[in-house]
Amino acid sequence: MKIEITKSQYKRIIYKLLDTLYGPKISYEWENDTIAIKSNDGELVFRVYTKSGRAKGCKKDMYVTSDTGEEINDFIPRAATRKKLFAKTLVSYVNEKTGLDIDCIEFWTTKTSKSGTEYDDKYHFNVKKNKKTNIY
C-alpha cells in the first residue's frame, strides 16, 4: 500500500517533530563568525557559519550537528532526510523560529553502495538556488 502526503502535511509533521525534540522556542547566540542555535534546554542543535566554513555561494550555511542528525533519524527514515523537501523544511523552520536568513544546509547521511557497504556522505543543499551544491 502506497501512502502519499502533501508538502504542507510533510511540513507540519517536521515542524511538530522539531518542536517536540527541541522545544517551540529555540534561541541563538553569535560566536565570532558562527551562530549557535540552541534548544529550549540550551543544547547546541545547529551551527550556522557566516564566514569561514561555509560553502561557495552561501551567506549563512547551517550545519546539522551529528547528535541532532541522529535524533532526527530516530523518527524519520534516512531516505527521507536526503530529499530537497526535508532540507527546505528544516531551513524554513529555523528561519521562522529565529528570524535568521539561512540559505544553505549541510548534514551527514548514510548511503549504501552497490556492494551493500554503508558509508557516510555529506549532503549540502542551497535553498535559495534550489539545488545541491559543492561544499568548497
Distance from C-alpha of 59 to C-alpha of 41, rounded to nearest angstrom: 28
Residue 2 lies in a domain: no
Other CB atoms within a 10 A radius of the CB of residue 28 amount to 18
* Parent domain of 97: 7-132
**How many domains in the chain?**
1
Per-residue pLDDT of the chain (136 residues; tens, 9 = 90+): 777 888 899 899 999 999 999 988 899 999 888 999 999 999 999 999 998 877 788 899 999 998 898 888 888 877 677 678 889 999 999 999 999 999 999 887 766 778 888 777 777 888 888 887 765 5
DSSP string, 112-133: E-TTS-EEEEEEEEETTTTEE-
Residue 91 lies in a domain: yes
Task: Report which residue type is found at 122.
Answer: K
Residue 27 lies in a domain: yes
Residue 78 lies in a domain: yes
Whole-structure pTM value: 0.84
* Amino acid 134: pLDDT: 63
Distance from C-alpha of 22 to C-alpha of 67, rounded to nearest angstrom: 12
